[in-house]
Amino acid sequence: MAPLEGIRVIELGQFIAGPYCGQLLADFGAEVIKIEPPQQGDAMRQWGRSGRNGRPVWWSVIARGKKSVALDLRRGEGQQILRDLVRDADVLIENFRPGTMERWGLGYDALSAINPRLIMARISGYGQDGPYSERAGFASVCEAAGGLRYISGYPDRPPVRIGLSLGDTMAGINAAIGVLLALQHRHKSGKGQVVDSAIYEAVLGLTESLVAEYDAGGHIRERYGSALPGIAPSNAYPTKDGKEVIIGANQDSVFGRLCEVMGQSELVNDPRFSDHRARGVNQEVLDGIVANWTRTQDAKTIVDLMAASGVPVGQAYTAKEMLEDPHFAARESIVRVNEPKGGTLAMQNVFPKLSETPGRVTRLGPDLGEHNEEVLVNGLGYAPERIAELRTAGII
């Protein structure tokens, strides 16, 4: 059995944060019923690059393992269908702007009156309360509020973003953790509760001692490019074949091994690099020495030499290198999932790995409304005639 088998989840969220929470729960066996607007579906169906069939592949990943029900929640009949679904649900995920569910008569008070065991995971930019709660909050702006953007990039340029919606995915992870904690509490109490996951707080939680450094000594952490101030050598270095390798050799004994690999053992006794603090003070000079050496070697040679000598090293991988890497293959870090019309689609596997009850990817993201009859007729007992009426009226 998968660890979440038997747990029914109703997912109302769109874009990334809510659906990513649903993806994680589906990966580990939960039955996730994805509720989407009847005409256009979740906006994620249109995002990202298209695959061989002409359809964006991001949907195939973020909606994997889910069932799709097309339902108009802005209309009374659609709201009543959701209430019927909630009666036997364990979890409801939503990431609308705070207050939206309440305007539809679907707030936690209303839904928990129907099902006191219901756990409601609410994901938003700034949380369910506070003066900013009603603000729209995408990952980009909430990453700025949470402190990540200010420290990302180079000191002589504006802040940069990484090529992922990190705030959204972290908020989804936090929501999934909250759901698991709430399920554990429900085992003891029999009662559900609200999980409030804010994107800016998900980012804030990653910022290590950033706040404490300012509070204790007035220090504001600044942008420092591809390294951390005072930590050397630990950076991205160029290679002979035009790639980049990441080397982390800032600990004393590891630095010694790096020097041996480079054929420059004398650097260990150089006063500028003799201990951690000295290397930090002379970081720029040391990074230049390492870079001058890495430019004479191709990336694979550097990785092989460093790995053999116990120096942390890694090439900056693209998806191409991931698919070719034997370690990824041995651990099945990337899985191929069958496509409905033939062929397979590669994507990241389910993490973390559990020895007894591992998760797995069961199928790609569903077609819009693919499971209307299964969920509404087989699950709720709606008559086929009613399904036809709802479809004609545009409710489903």
Q: Are residues 306 and 365 in the same domain?
A: no
Q: Is 215 a catalytic residue?
A: no
**CB 43, CB 124: distance < 8 Å:** no
Q: Are residues 137 and 278 in the same domain?
A: no
Q: Are residues 158 and 85 in the same domain?
A: yes
Q: Are residues 304 and 375 in the same domain?
A: no
The answer to whether position 1 is within a domain reads: no
Interior/surface letters 62-87, b for 16+ CB within 10 angstroms, e for the rest? bbbbbbbbbbbbeeeebbebbeebbe
Which residue's entry shows tokens 């041996």? 260
Place 348 in a pLDDT band, splitting at 50, 70 and 90: very high
Q: Are residues 51 and 131 in the same domain?
A: yes
Q: Are residues 304 and 180 in the same domain?
A: no
Q: Which of 72, 168, 196, 287 is catalytic?
A: 168
Which of 286, 315, 344 terminates a domain? The answer is 315
Q: Are residues 99 and 183 in the same domain?
A: yes
Q: Are residues 69 and 187 in the same domain?
A: yes
Domain that holds residue 137: 8-206+353-392
CATH number at residue 306: 3.30.1540.10
Residue 396's pLDDT is 97
What tokens does 388 get? 């036809």
Distance CA(205)–CA(162), nearest Å, equals 17
In the chain, how many domains are there? 2
Q: Is the pLDDT of residue 251 over 80?
A: yes
Stated pTM of the model: 0.95
The answer to whether position 225 is within a domain reads: no
On the CB side of 142, how many CA atoms lie within 13 Å of its CA?
30
Percent of the chain exceeding pLDDT 70 equals 100
Which of 315, 341, 363 terminates a domain? The answer is 315
CATH number at residue 102: 3.40.50.10540
Residue 53's pLDDT is 76
Q: Are residues 91 and 166 in the same domain?
A: yes
Mean local confidence (pLDDT), 150-155: 96
Mean local confidence (pLDDT), 227-253: 97
Q: Is the pLDDT of residue 37 over 80?
A: yes
